[in-house]
Amino acid sequence: MAVSSLLRLLFFFVFFVIFVDGQCLDDQKKLLLDLRSEFKFNSSVPHSIVNWNETGDCCEWNIVGCDDSGHVTSLDLNSGGISGIIGESSALFRLTYLSRLGLSRNDFTTSEIPNQFHRLPNLAYLRMSSSGFMGPFPSTLANLTELVELALSGNFLTGSIPSFHNCKNLESIGLSYNNLMGTLSHLHFQGLRNLSRLDLSGNSLSGTIPQHLFVLPSIDMLDLSNNQFSGQIKQISIVDHSNLGWLDLSGNRIGGPIPNFFFQLPNIFNLWLSDNLFNGTFKLNKIRSLTRLSSLTLSNNNLSVDTNNMSSSSYINVLHMSSCNLHDFPNLRNASYMSSLDLSNNRLRGDIPSWIWETEISYLDLSFNLLKGLKKALISPNFSVVLLANNRLTGAIPTFICNASLLGVLDLSFNNLSGSIPPCLINKGIVSQVLNLRGNKISGVIPDQFSSKCDLQTFDVSNNNLGGKVPMSLSNCKNLLVMNVGNNNLNDIFPCMLSLSLRILVLRSNRFQGDLRCSKSWPNLQILDISSNDFSGRLNFLNLSSLRGMMLQSPIRVRLKRSDSNFLGANSVYRNEVTLTVKGIEVKLVKIWPDFTSIDLSSNRFRGEIPDAIGDLTSLYLLNLSHNSLTDAIPRSLGALTELGSLDLSANKLTGRIPEELAKLTFLSVLNLSYNHLSGLIPTGSQFQTFSADSFEGNAGLSGFPLNGSFNNPHRFGPSPSDDSEPKDEEIEWGYVFAALGYVVGFGSIAWTLLCHRRLRERYFEKIEEVADKIFYERGRRRRHERRVRRREERRNGLRRHHH
């Protein structure tokens, strides 16, 4: 029975194929086989065309479609595991009957798209997204009058976008996340009556936005976000039947007032205007008439938002108004569909209204305001991210928060909270990912009640008045990545029980004592800061050779820099990549912060020699062993720490000569060997000459430049003293390091925002570099120089391309 119905099905299928598709013509088959021979294949991909062969009807090959007379009209090679190059004379351009071609999600990273598409005049559907194509945008695509859909998103295409006004059938254009430049003229997309979807986001397009884009008769989705569009958008009259539902202009430089017609679009659903230069006062009650509006973002403009008379019971779901000069809470009591509310960076004062907690909001950001009170309330169970950092909250942490049973992230850092940590925050595993209470006045002990199902990734209670011990039950948190209890009054031994997953461990400025002997170690540890405690014993109790997180990983470490105009503008040699899906396009992202690694053991009572094995930690940026009682010679193996930017061994009892190897550390910008018992000549080497005598003083036996008579030396190499505010005893700004490790510590939403919104990313990298530059100013200068050179080069290339 089952077999016969299967046979019937099979019969129908074969019948169908033969009926619809004619018998493959020989020349068409030959072209297909020729095409195959141009490519390389990943044989483990199931639909690979590797199975094509000389026998059989090519119209029956499952990814080929033919017309009645046996011409190949459609070819679906999406996700085909194909790599290689498409040449100008490729057999592809001789399949002249092709109307559908799919080449998305393959690997053509070294290939340009030949400008030969005019030879395929029947092409209607062309999909070549996320396949790594490079080179100039193929302008002859604009000669394809039959074109209905064009998808080239997520490649590395350069140059400008041709005007598609001849392609009257176009319905969908997706060119997002390439490196396209230039302006859009009044001809671009003019008269495309059927165009419903236009996505140009994530490029470097500039100039003003042509007004007619907003009134294309069929336009439904218009995404111009993350470009460099500027100027103002003038008021126009909107036709009643406008379909525009999705309008994303975020991340540009558009100024002037927000035009009124946005609020006359009857079907508007998503209106994203954040990260622009819109100015003036915006009355929020304008959205009252927009019954379909679900998502509105106005953050980071130059707006003053007036929330008076905002008594809407609208369907709004997402409302982001960060930096909107708000003085009062908008009345959203009746916005019962709200799920994401961002009012950060405003001037909200007073108490947080209790109705907020009764809404069904899941993402709430009120950080950077002037809020004082957290009134007792009934909290709805929907809250998953609650960010209240940098306000003026006083009193104890209210226990009503514990009723939010799905809380993933709770950030109360930098407030004026006192009292102790409510056990319910910890014992019920309420906060599942990030608990940040840093910078308050919290006292008492950390409750030893972490549940056996603890999934916490970041635990930060630093800069408070906590006493007692690190709770044993923290070992239940098997995925802990960040643990920061610095600047408290904890009195304990080294917390050997912490999970192996740990990346950042900060115990600084407490009263920890004992040695560092543990029966295990942390292969992923990147930052170890246990300075200013009472630790003792020998350093080789620490199993250095197991700290693989501090060793350079082979072979390439590429750092994405702020100035990389587009995070996709890099090719796939990147390691450490994460894949995200942005609006259905797969986007590869690189780890955004260099693997910042540091060891700070300063101001303890360590003794004995510095172990040779320290030279294995080849990715170390910062090593501080100062103010201990270390003896013997400085190990030569330190010369292997090629990434080292800051080395402080001062105020110990080190003897012998300074190893020549240290002079080869080209990135070294902070060196302090003062107050030891070092002797002999200071090695010569370009880098060493840039340090002042301070780096070496207090060593009776030491001589040579810069110690002897160097103070008035007019030929001092290296940086001029004016901008050398050498950081001393400066704490790393953990906030940024954490944010940088954002996606690692599971702060998903923030990492996502960062990576997808260019303006934010730029601002963020500025901040990050500020921190890094403070610590490694020399390297910073070098980087800035490289960047300037590269920018100049880019500009030159850009000009050259322009001339062609």
Ligand X SMILES: *[C@@H]1O[C@H](CO)[C@@H](O)[C@H](O)[C@H]1NC(C)=O
Q: Where do contacts with ligand X occur on this chain (CB under 6 A)?
A: 42, 44-45, 53, 55-56, 81, 118, 140, 143, 166, 168-169, 193-194, 255-256, 277, 279-280, 302, 308-309, 311, 313, 331, 333-334, 337, 339, 360, 362, 378, 382, 392, 394, 399-400, 403, 416, 418, 521, 543, 545-546
Measured CA to CA in angstroms, residue 192 lies from 121, 213, 473, 562 at distances of 18, 10, 64, 37
Q: How far apart are CA 218 and CA 194, in angstroms?
A: 5
Q: List 436's β-bridge partners, or say none.
A: 411, 460
Distances (CA, A) of 609 to 381, 538, 682: 55, 7, 21
Nearer to ligand X, 163 or 267 (CB): 163
Instruction: Say which residue the tokens 């209204």 belong to.
Output: 353
For the bound state, the minimum distance from the C-beta of residue 234 to ligand X, rounded and expressed in Å, comes to: 13
Instruction: Tell me the longest C-alpha to C-alpha distance in the chain.
Output: 102
**Which is closer to ligand X, CB of 92 or CB of 732?**
92
- In whole angstroms, the minimum distance from the beta carbon of 795 to ligand X comes to 24
Q: How far is the CB of 456 from ligand X (least distance, A)?
A: 21
Query: Among residues 255 and 685, whose Cβ is nearest to ligand X?
Result: 255
CB 65 within 8 A of CB 90: no
Indicate the residue among 551 and 633 with the shorter CB distance to ligand X.
551
Measured at the alpha carbon of residue 147, what is the angle toward residues 144 and 149, in degrees to the nearest 5? 140
Residue environment code for 547-563, b if the CB has 16+ CB neighbours within 10 A, otherwise e: bebbbbeeeeeeebebb
CB of 403 to ligand X, least distance (A): 4
Pick 426 or 745: Cβ nearer ligand X: 426
Omega cis (within 30) before 555? yes
The residue (of 257 and 514) whose beta carbon lies closer to ligand X is 257
CA distance 303 to 254: 12
* Contact assessment for residue 180 and residue 202, using Cβ atoms and an 8 Å cutoff: no
The three-class DSSP label of residue 127 is strand
Q: How far is the CB of 743 from ligand X (least distance, A)?
A: 22
Instruction: Report in angstroms how near the CB of residue 194 gets to ligand X at its nearest.
Output: 4
Q: Which is nearer to ligand X, 143 or 183 (CB)?
A: 143
Q: Which two tokens stand for residue 742?
A: 């954002």
Task: Give least dist CB 17 to ligand X, A.
Answer: 13
- Closest distance to ligand X from the beta carbon of 260 (Å): 15
Measured torsion, CA atoms of residues 541, 545, 547, 551, in degrees rounded to the nearest 10: 140
Nearer to ligand X, 168 or 605 (CB): 168
Least separation in angstroms between CB 313 and ligand X:
5
Residue whose CB is less far from ligand X, 337 or 574: 337
CB of 600 to ligand X, least distance (A): 21
User: Residue 194 or residue 566: which is nearer to ligand X going by CB?
Assistant: 194
CB of residue 4 vs ligand X: minimum separation in angstroms? 23
Q: What are phi and psi of 173, to 5 degrees?
A: -125, 120
- Residue 131's identity, in one-letter code, is S
Q: Which is nearer to ligand X, 296 or 682 (CB)?
A: 296
Nearest distance, CB of residue 84 and ligand X, angstroms: 12
Question: One-letter amino acid identity for 669?
Answer: S
Give the Cα separation of 456 and 473 in Å (integer): 12
Using the minimum distance from each CB to ligand X, give the nearer residue, 283 or 781.
Answer: 283
39-41 and 82-84 strand pairing: antiparallel
DSSP result, 174-204:
E--SS--BSB--TTTTTT-TT--EEE--SS-
- Residues of the chain by 3-state class (helix, strand, coil), percent to 5: 20, 20, 55
**Cα separation of 587 and 565, whole Å?**
15
Q: Name residue 514's amino acid.
A: G
Q: Which two tokens stand for residue 607?
A: 């003794």
Residue 151 CB, nearest distance to ligand X (Å)? 19
**Are the C-beta atoms of 456 and 484 separated by less than 8 Å?**
no
How many CB atoms sit inside 10 A of residue 512's CB? 22
For residue 262, what are its two tokens?
A: 């946005």
| Placement of tokens 């036996």 in the chain | 701
Nearer to ligand X, 43 or 797 (CB): 43
Give the residue carrying structure tokens 């409750």.
Answer: 447
Q: Which is nearer to ligand X, 302 or 553 (CB)?
A: 302
Task: Please say which residue, 399 or 708, places its beta carbon nearer to ligand X.
Answer: 399
Are the beta carbons of 427 and 399 closer than 8 angstroms? no
Which CB sits closer to ligand X, 543 or 710? 543
Which residue has 């938002």 as its token pair? Answer: 305
- Helix/strand/coil (H, E, C) string of 372-390? EEECCCCCCCCCCEEECCC
CA atoms lying within 13 Å on the CB side of residue 557: 12
Q: How far is CA 574 from CA 348, 567, 568, in A?
A: 43, 11, 11
Residue nearer to ligand X on the CB measure, 228 or 689: 228
Residue 724 C-beta: closest distance to ligand X, Å? 31
Query: Is 303 or 474 the residue whose CB approaches ligand X more closely?
Result: 303
- Integer CA distances (angstroms), 407 to 361, 382, 419, 436, 533, in order: 11, 8, 21, 13, 34
Peptide bond into 447 cis (omega under 30): no
Minimum CB–partner distance for residue 78 and ligand X (Å): 13
What CA–CA distance (Å, rounded) separates 453 from 477? 7
Tell me how far, at minimum, the Cβ of 395 lies from ligand X, in Å.
7
The set of residues, in sequence order, having a beta carbon less than 8 Å from that of 303 and lying 6+ positions away, is 258, 278, 279, 280, 281, 282, 324, 325
Beta carbon of residue 402, minimum distance to ligand X (angstroms, whole number): 7
Angle between helices 758-775 and 748-756 (to 10 degrees): 100
CB 662 → ligand X: shortest distance, Å? 26
